[in-house]
Structure 1
Amino acid sequence: MNEESENDIELRNAKLSLNESTTSICEAKQANLPLSRNTITGLNFLVYNYIEKTLASDLESFANHAKRTTINQSDVLLCCRNNQKMYSKMKEFIANLEKKQKRAKREEKIKKEFKIDEKPKKSKSKSKSKSKSKSKSRPKSRPKLKSKSKSKSKSNLKSQK
C-alpha cells in the first residue's frame, strides 16, 4: 500500500510540474490575447493525455521492437521523427547530455586517480622517514662491508702470490 501511495504522490507531483510548465509556456508565448485559465487547464489536460496514452505506448512499442526492456534516447528520437524542429532540438539536447555525462565520468576518474595517488604518497613519506633512519645506520655498516671485502681481496691476492 505504501508503494501505491508513493506512486500516487509521484504522479500528483508530475501533474503539478506539468501544469506549472504549461502555464509558464502559455504566459511567455501569449501575444496580444490573454489566455483564460480554462484554456490553460485544457492545454494541460491535452498534454498530459498525449504523454500518458500516445507517447508512452509509442515509447514502449519502439523499445519492444528493438527487443529491449528499457526505453532509451533512440526511442524518444523515433517519437520526434515527424517533427523536424523537435527532432533536431532533441538530438542537440541528447548530444549535450552525453557530453555532460562524459565530462562527469572523466572528472570522477580523475578524482579516483587523485585519491589513489594520495595513498601511496602517505606510505612513501613513511618509508622516507624509515629510510632516513636506515640511512643513518648504513654508513656505519657499509665501511665494515668494504673493509671485509678488502681483507678478503687482500687474502686472495696473498694466496695467489
Structure 2
Amino acid sequence: MSQDEALMERLKASLWFSIGKIVDEETARLNTTATPQFIGAMTEMAWAQIENVAQDLESFSRHAGRTTVTTDDVMLITRRNEALGEIMRDFVDREKAEKEVDKGAKAKVKRTAVKGRGK
C-alpha cells in the first residue's frame, strides 16, 4: 500500500469514526438505534461528496490559473445552495473582520513601540 493509499484509509477511518459519534448522539437523543451498515453507508456517501467537492475546487482554481484553492472557489461550490452560501459568506465576512481587527491591533502596537524608541 502506497503512502497516499494509507493516508486515504486513515482519513476514511477518521470520517467513519466522526460520523459514528454523530449518529450515536442523535440516536440517543431520538431514543432509537442505527446499524453499523447505516454508519458505513453514511460514511461512503460523505466520502463521495468530499471527493466530488475536492475535484470541483481543483478545477475552479485551475480554471482561474491558480494552483491554490481560494475562498472564491469555495463560494462557487455553494452557488446552487443558497442557505449554504449564506452560511459561508457570513463565515468569510467574520474571518475578514477578525483579521482587520488583528491587523489594526498589531499596527497600534508597532506604532507604540516606535514612539517609545524615539523618546
Band of TM-score, shorter chain: 0.7 to 0.9
Q: Secondary structure at the match of 1:34?
A: coil
- Alpha-carbon distance change, 85 to 111 in structure 1, aligned in 2, over 3 angstroms: same
- Alpha-carbon distance change, 103 to 9 in structure 1, aligned in 2, over 3 angstroms: farther
2:71 matched residue in structure 1: 73
Unmatched segments (≥5 aa) in structure 2: none
CA deviation after TM superposition for structure 1 residue 38, in Å: 2.9
The ranges of structure 1 where at least 4 consecutive aligned residues each deviate by more than 6 angstroms after the TM superposition are none
- CA shift digits 1:119-146 (9 cap, x unpaired): 22xxx3xxxxxxxxxxxxxxxxxxxxxx
- TM-score with structure 2 length normalisation? 0.74
- Alpha-carbon distance change, 84 to 99 in structure 1, aligned in 2, over 3 angstroms: same
In structure 2, what is the Cα distance between the partners aligned to 1:10 and 1:103? 38
In structure 2, what is the Cα distance between the partners aligned to 1:19 and 1:107? 42
Tell whether 2:40 aligns with 1:41: yes
Report matched runs for 1:5-154 at 5 Å. 12=10, 14-15=11-12, 17-30=14-27, 31-52=30-51, 54-120=52-118, 124=119
In structure 2, what is the Cα distance between the partners aligned to 1:29 and 1:86? 22
For these two proteins, the number of residue pairs brought into alignment is: 116
In structure 2, what is the Cα distance between the partners aligned to 1:11 and 1:60? 21
Q: Which amino acid aligns with 1:36?
A: T
Larger radius of gyration: 1
CA deviation after TM superposition for structure 1 residue 32, in Å: 4.7
Q: Which amino acid aligns with 1:74?
A: D
In structure 2, what is the Cα distance between the partners aligned to 1:17 and 1:118? 51
CA deviation after TM superposition for structure 1 residue 9, in Å: 6.0
Q: Share of identical aligned residues, percent?
A: 27
Q: Secondary structure at the match of 2:80?
A: coil
- TM-score with structure 1 length normalisation? 0.58
CA deviation after TM superposition for structure 1 residue 71, in Å: 0.8
Q: Secondary structure at the match of 1:81?
A: helix
- CA RMSD in angstroms comes to 2.9
Q: Which amino acid aligns with 2:117?
A: K
Q: Which amino acid aligns with 1:103?
A: V
In structure 2, what is the Cα distance between the partners aligned to 1:83 and 1:48? 19
Q: Secondary structure at the match of 1:33?
A: coil
Q: Secondary structure at the match of 2:79?
A: coil
Q: Which amino acid aligns with 1:66?
A: A
